[in-house]
Amino acid sequence: MRHTLALLSLALGLAACGGDSDTTTTVSTADGDVAVTTSRDGQSTVTVKGSDGSGITIDAGATSWPADAPAHAPPYPGGTITGAMKSVGKGTTGSQVIFETGDAPASVIAFYKQRAEKAGLPEQATLTNATTALYSAGANNGPSIIIQASTEAGKTTAVLTFGNGVAG
C-alpha cells in the first residue's frame, strides 16, 4: 500500500506539469497501474487499476453528468457539478457526483426519493436535521442510490452515490 501511495503521489506531481496539450502520465507496478491525464482546460482524471482488473476513476473538475447514470440518478435540475468519480471492480460499478444548488436539502432528497420509488428501489434510510438530509434506497447486489445534502450560507452541497448493481 505504501508503494501504491508513493506512486500515486509521483503520478499526480508529474501530471501537474501541464502544457499546451493533454498529457497522460502512467506508473505501472506488479499491483496495477496509475494513470493521470490532465487536459488543457485544467481537468484531471486519475485512473487506478489493480492487477485483478478492479479500479477507480476520479474526474477532478468534471462538469458533465456520468453518461451511464441510471434513470433513478438523473442530473439535479439547476445543479452545478463540482466533482465526479466512478469505480469498477469485481463485477460491480458505482459512481459519485458532487454538485451544488441553491435549493434546500429537503428538496434535493425529495427529487431523488421520487425517482428511486418510481424505479422500485426499497428505502433503506432517511435522516434529516436542520441543515442536512440523507436518503438511501436499493437492495443487495442490485441498483442503489444514496443522496446526502447539507446547506451552509444558503448553498447546498449534495453528494449522490449510485450503483448499477452486480454486472452480469
C-alpha–C-alpha distance, residues 116 and 121, integer Å: 5
C-alpha–C-alpha distance, residues 26 and 38, integer Å: 12
Q: Which of residues 166 and 21 earns the better pLDDT score?
A: 21
Question: Where in the chain are the domains?
Answer: 1-53, 62-168
Considering the domain 62-168 in this protein, what is its CATH number?
2.60.120
Least reliable range by pLDDT among 93-97, 118-122, 128-132, 148-152: 93-97
pTM of the full structure: 0.73
Q: Which of residues 67 and 110 earns the better pLDDT score?
A: 110
What's the pLDDT tens digit per position in 26-38? Answer: 999 988 899 888 8
Least reliable range by pLDDT among 2-6, 38-42, 86-90: 2-6
Structural contact between residues 98 and 75, judged by C-beta atoms closer than 8 angstroms? no
Distance, CA of 146 to chain centre: 11
Which of 62, 45, 121 is CA-nearest to residue 112? Answer: 121
